[in-house]
Amino acid sequence: MRGMELPLNHTQKLRLQKALESLESLSSVTNSNASVTVADSIPVNQEDGVLKGHGTTELEGEVVATVCGVIERVNKLVYVRTLRARYKPEVGDIIVGRVIEVAPKRWRLEINFSQDAVLMLSSMNLPDGIQRRRTAVDELNMRSIFEEDDVICAEVRDFMRDGSLQLQARSQKYGKLERGQMLTISPYLVKRRKQHFHHLEQYGIDLILGCNGFIWVGEHVEIKDNMIEDEPTKPDSKNKKSQISTTLEEQEETYTTLETRQNICRIANAIRVLTTLGFSITLDVILEIVDLSTKKGLDIHEMLGAEFCVLVAEKEAERRSVSTRRKR
């Protein structure tokens, strides 16, 4: 909410302030025992030999928080998890990145981290899908696979000695992303979950929530199994028909319908609204915002207006209050 700048009138300001106060009260109730600010004391038992982790220090015999966040405990380790922080990669994270350089046997990617990430040629699937050793010919053809400014989905494999990340894209679900748009948001808004790949069947859209704050919204692409054998060749009399059909199929594959493009823009604007309000990005909330904009009969560009942002804040406050009552 710090960077939020909306042309609100007096009524909208009051409504938004009321909704945010409601959200703050709900969050303070749920995290009253866990949330701390700078200089708050953290209750611990010194006799157990507590280990002081990130965001903590010892002052006059007490463990004191040095950052704002939530207290986390792992056995004897006590640390404070900051609510707003830069992307801190972990092995296994699903990330979305953009190629900035094609180097020998590797691609270098921008992933919204302090250092660039590296995707080795040996750590990805080749276009033919066959698992084999990479040859000099493969290295010469690297630019035909990925080139500069291509958007790629990959997984964090390991940390290198210089601090950069090593990625891998050995599965069919990873690779080049096309026919869509990439959004850049604050990484703390994307929580680590079991599933970061989402197929929205009702909209024909693929949604990838990258842990690094890069989000991909694009047309759904079917994952083809390259291990399936090709069909036997047909007689020469049908070669012309097959050539015509393949060219038509290629044209259909490269064409994105107007409805799909509108769905991509509508879902992307829903994510932009959540980012403006500082709400966590989840699939359920995104779909609720899209449904709300459709019910209100708003055009895609009207979703970024001040009135709709206020409506989203009020809806989120109502949703959280209802969920809190159910838990009680």
Question: Tens digit of pLDDT for each residue in 269-283?
Answer: 999 999 998 888 999
Residues facing 73 on adjacent strands: 78
Helix/strand/coil for 96: strand
Structure tokens at 28: 């303070």
Q: Is 238 helix (H, G, I), strand (E, B) or coil?
A: helix
User: What pLDDT sits at residue 95?
Assistant: 94
State whether residue 187 is helix, strand or coil.
Answer: helix
302-321 mean pLDDT: 88
* β pairing state of 165-169 and 117-124: parallel
Long-range contacts of 135-141 (CB under 8 A, 24+ apart): 139/104, 139/105
pLDDT at residue 4 tops 60: no
Q: How far apart are CA 156 and CA 94, in angstroms?
A: 7
**Cα 114 vs. chain centroid, distance in angstroms?**
18
Q: Could you tell me the residue ranges of all domains in the chain? A: 85-177, 179-223+257-328
Q: Does domain 85-177 have CATH number 2.40.50.140?
A: yes
For residue 171, the model assigns a pLDDT of 83
pLDDT digits (tens, 9 = 90+) for 156-189: 999 888 778 899 988 888 989 999 999 999 898 8
Report whether 169 contacts 199 (CB < 8 A): no
Tell me the CB-side half-sphere exposure of residue 16, using CA atoms within 13 A: 20
DSSP secondary-structure letter at 233?
A: P
pLDDT of residue 321 exceeding 90: no
pLDDT at site 243: 47
Task: Give the chain's length.
Answer: 328
